[in-house]
Amino acid sequence: MTFRNALTLNINGSEHEVFIEPHWTLLDVLRREIGLTGTKENCIEAECGVCTVLLDGKAVCSCILLAMQAAGRSITTIEGLGTPDALDPLQVAFLKHGAVQCGYCIPGMILTAKSFLAEHPGTPTRHEIREAISGTLCRCTGYQKIIDAIADAGAEGAQAAS
């Protein structure tokens, strides 16, 4: 018989109660128990970045974080970032620059960029952006348009703040 523990997670501003086994990762719970499949699964060993979510605003790989470790923290998935009618500025910039092909890496890429721009307000250099997204692998785009989009969103944010 498998024992499960009750766990309450704050995801995208709402409380979710789930019953989990202690070894389940946050990625397991988000996708399988809550149905938030915008967070992608691939390597499950912190190598590709497609499972990235924000934990208290910082980008983390949800495939190596136990769900229990996220208790009491604020979790943001791609579903919590903007709506179809009111996209996040990063989503707007990715669309504007045609920075999406198959899309598999994009939720993790955008959340990684969100965390990076929050920590580096203003206009980061292309080198800084490249370093920031180096843990998120994209097989399609060649990265240039992604970097353009993040640079644009950073510049727009800097303008809005001035």
Q: Is 110 in the site for ligand FES (CB under 6 A)?
A: no
Among 21, 47, 119, 131, binds ligand FES (CB under 6 A): 47
**Pairing state of beta strands 5-11 and 74-76?**
parallel
Tell me the helices (H) and strands (E) count for the chain, helix number first: 5, 7
Q: Is 51 in the site for ligand FES (CB under 6 A)?
A: yes
Shortest Å distance, C-beta 136 to ligand FES: 8
Residue of 81, 103, 46, 58 lying closest to 153 (CA atoms): 81
How far is 54 from 49, CA to CA, in rounded Å? 12
Q: Is 46 in the site for ligand FES (CB under 6 A)?
A: yes
How far is 125 from 123, CA to CA, in rounded Å? 7
Among 12, 74, 101, 123, binds ligand FES (CB under 6 A): 101
Q: Which residues are at the interface with ligand FES (CB under 6 A)?
A: 41-44, 46-51, 61, 63, 100-106, 138-141
